[in-house]
Chains A and B, each alone.
Chain A
Amino acid sequence: MSAVIENHHDEHHHGPAAGITRWLFTTNHKDIGTLYLWFSFAMFLIGGAMAMIIRAELFQPGMQIVEPEFYNQMITLHGLIMIFGGVMPAFVGLANWLVPMQIGAPDMALPRMNNLSFWILPFAFFILLSSLFMEGGAPNFGWTFYAPLSTTYAPPSVTFFIFSVHIMGASSIMGAINVVVTIMNMRAPGVGLMKMPLFVWSWLITAYLLIAVMPVLAGAVTMMLMDIHFGTSFFNAAGGGDPVLFQHIFWFFGHPEVYIMILPAFGIVSHIIETFSRKQLFGYSSMVWAMLSIAILSFVVWAHHMFTVGLPLAAEIFFMWATMLIAVPTGVKVFNWVATMFRGSITFETPMLFAIAFVVLFTIGGLSGLMLAIVPADFQYHDTYFVVAHFHYVLVPGAIFSIMAAVYYWIPKWTGNMYDERLGKLHFWLSFIGVNVTFFPQHFIGLAGMPRRYPDYALQFADWNMVSSVGAFLFGFSQLLFLFIVLKTVMGGKKATDQVWEGARGLEWSVASPAPYHTFSTPPKID
């Protein structure tokens, strides 16, 4: 009798609630991680659909499918949705799933805030997307929303955009605080700072960056709100304001923001390369120091986005040298990954393929970034497709490939099932070819002189634009295969062992597959 009661008692406290309330009221880091990941995938598909519209319009010179006005709305929403809805929540989702398991903690430190920080996100994006149906259309000033195009000259929906950015910012800040508090307070005994897995390190640094710069973004949009509705002139030259001030504030947020989108990827890729090379990471501490240097340098390079605004010579030279300096710690990371693979015992499962593609293509994106840092050359590159190619190389085969690699790597732990390796490899090759066919020719288009954010172009850019569009369709539709693979894995498949991967190390592999609803209720023992 008492045994029955105890069982009941156990279920009540340790299993997930039934039905929709499980997801609405959950404070469980695994559930919230899952919510974040599905949400970001939905946003990835919506933002991707917009990219398809953009590439369809650019398939040929001339206006065919949309009007320039709508085209501008598409480029704006594509950027905002992919950054704030696709990449950032996906990393927060991974942090939710993995940080507690990797440091041997039972959950995130602030579980209720965790629930809140996720559940305000859908509202933010509902508001942003609803602006498409408002009079005057959605925001059309680019994801960088430079004033005064985004203030005096903006469509009325800009106010909703501002509100939605505020909500996204609040969500990010809460998520970041949660990560910091969890890592600082909830490590199992024996997990010292310099013993933390690199993904945890990368997220600790990312979280500090978020806490530092999201309020700056909030400040920028609030000043816009004041300019639009309350008669201030922060960015209005006619009222004594300064449109360049906007860019300084925006990029003081924006540059750390791009590292927010790549640092967690560094952590993920380090784990995967280590696992499938069956060899310890070459230089753990130099990886940590490299990430820290990149994070600190990210605060002193913002004006490299603004070389053409008419900065004084001294500022141009300072920002050029500071920017080039970032290549040093970034190089250290790439060399470390290569040295880890060197004389390892390598196998090429899907996560490893994505991780290797990450290293190669991220390096290409990094090298074109180095070219962009050279001010006189940047006068030719700035705001052309060369820049578009550069940042898509670091964001798509960079950030997004790392997220896909992470999903393939940890999904056996999450679901208890192995994904279909053949389909996974097919997905990898389609994505890899698609991404390169899309973005590599954009280097050429940009060097030959096509500016970005153009709905139509001169005839000499026609051929490579067509190639790029074909690649984009290939990449876009391949992601439906990814959806299928993930669903198939969730539904069933070959059972995963607890260890999953032969070379995997870390606390998350010591728990059962699928990971029980609650893990490490008592701290693990670390040697």
Chain B
Amino acid sequence: MFFRFFKNLSKSLTLLFIFVATPSLNADWFDLNMTRGTTEISNEVFELHMLIFWICVVIGLLVFSVMFYSMWAHTKKKNPVPATFHENHKLEIAWTIIPFLILIAMAVPASKTLVKIYDDEAGDINIQVTGYQWKWQYRYLEDDVSFFANLSTDLDEIYNLVPKGENYLQEVDEMVVIPVGKKVRFLITANDVIHSWWMPAFAIKQDAIPGFVNTAWTVVDNPGIYRGKCTELCGKNHGFMPIVVKVVEQDEYDEWVFNKRQEAIKLAELTTKDWSTAELMERGQTVYEVNCVACHQTEGQGISGIFPALAGSEIALYEKDRHIEILMEGVQGAAMNSFDYLSEVELAAVITYSRQAWGNAEAGDGEIVIPKDIVDYKEPKI
């Protein structure tokens, strides 16, 4: 019996080992150092990092070798009578002054690079980057293009139900596109809590802070796809709002801008279209899953004590006007922010969806909201 138990145990341990060892196949054991990045600045930062790194290694080795020598040569066995020396002003001055000089040797090039990074002249392209819980909004100030970038990794991958893809947690539904060789300036801010926009390949990390606009710039010469992350704890899905920048040739960039504008025009036309409840529901579900589900959850049940439930909520059942107002203005002093940056169609669809889904239609008045309602809400204020 005991034998069988151990046999089973060893079998399950072997399986566990195989299971555990699998991810090693697609990961790199030797991914140990900072990325060199792709821009002039990121290369300079990398060189600076290596310089300091080697200085630290040498200092460490010197200090530790003296120490390890003592541990080897000056044991009680080998050196039964300890020396009695103490305090030596020359030595003490030397070990104060020499580190000081080494520090200056490190600080000077670091300050020079920093001055370069702080060159804050206007860019050829200015992109406003806004952090939201938990997605990024990009607004191209000159080209009048605006969109959100959400994590596109499937929840099933995160919860280990299906194998993880190559760009697990590093992929988004819409990439930031910038042209090669142009000075691109990012104007970084946030809508709710503090986020931080980090693109290692450009050596840019700037906090996105509500009420502040921080700037960072880059010039990228190599086309390609670059991946970064949010680096300031911003709540539950902090680990799930990656950044992807696609650097393309100028003509490809122009084409992309053209297409984005066409899309915007099409979206505006949708506002005047006649919408059926089913159409609104379908679109609303998509909007809900991108913008609302993180807090209010898939079945509209919310999270007790933090995020209120929508299923069966008085507002979703009977108070259509208040429902619109909450989406447009947010709730003061709570995590619910204004969503007025969504289009009229998206707002109408998502409100309709949350008034119809999860049995709300049957329980309440089941009123739907059409894009015109949102336009009307905005009207008197203009």
Contact = CB atoms under 8 A, between A and B. Distances in A.
Interface of A: 60-64, 68-69, 72, 134-137, 140-142, 146, 148-149, 152-153, 155-156, 237-238, 241-244, 277-286, 308-310, 313, 316-317, 320-321, 324-325, 327-328, 331-332, 334-335, 338-339, 341-348, 356, 359-360, 363-364, 367-368, 370-371, 374-377, 379-380, 382-384, 444, 447-449, 451-463, 466
A375 B41 CA distance: 13
Contact of A377 (B48, B79, B99): B48
A460 B70 CA distance: 41
11 contacts: A68-B237, A72-B235, A282-B87, A321-B107, A343-B74, A374-B110, A375-B110, A379-B203, A384-B231, A447-B33, A459-B164
A320 B27 CA distance: 35
A202 to B, nearest CB: 19
Contact of B114 (A72, A281, A317): A317
Contact of A155 (B113, B230, B306): B306
Interface string B27-59: 111011111000001001100110011001001
Nearest to B166: A459
Which 8 A-B pairs rank lowest in CB-CB distance, beginning with the nearest? A237-B211, A135-B305, A136-B305, A310-B214, A454-B239, A343-B83, A345-B82, A367-B56
Contact of A457 (B80, B214, B239, B305): B239
B34 A447 contact: yes
A152 B33 CA distance: 38
Contacts of B76: 278, 345-347
Contacts, number: 304
B92 A342 contact: no
Interface residues of B, number: 103
A324 B103 contact: yes
Interface string B225-260: 000011111111111100000000000000000000
B99 A327 contact: yes
Nearest to A309: B207
A243 B211 contact: yes
Given A328-B100, A338-B66, A345 B81 contact: yes
Contacts of A280: 84, 86
Contacts of A375: 110, 114
Which of A72, A238, A244, A462 counts the most chain B CB atoms within 10 A?
A462
Contact of A310 (B29, B74, B91, B212): B212
B159 interface: yes
Contact of B84 (A60, A279, A379, A448): A279
Contacts of B9: none
A343 to B, nearest CB: 4
A328 to B, nearest CB: 5
A328 B233 contact: no
B268 interface: no
A342 B95 contact: no
Contacts of A278: 76, 82
Contact of A444 (B32, B75, B230, B234): B32
B195 to A, nearest CB: 10
Given A338-B63, A374-B48, A377-B110, A243 B194 contact: yes
Contact of B196 (A153, A244, A383, A462): A383
A313 B114 contact: yes
Interface stretch (B18-26, B279-287, B350-358, B359-367): B18-26
Contact of B70 (A238, A342, A451, A462): A342
Interface string B318-340: 00000000000000011100000
Contacts of A327: 99, 103
Contacts of B35: 448-449
B106 interface: yes
A346 B27 contact: no
Contacts of A310: 206-207, 209, 212, 214-215
A156 B63 CA distance: 50
Contacts of A72: 233, 235-236, 238
Contacts of B122: none
A376 B63 contact: no
Contacts of A448: 31-35
A344 B211 contact: no
A382 B231 contact: yes
Contact of B74 (A346, A359, A466): A346
A463 B28 CA distance: 8
Contact of A334 (B63, B92, B169): B63
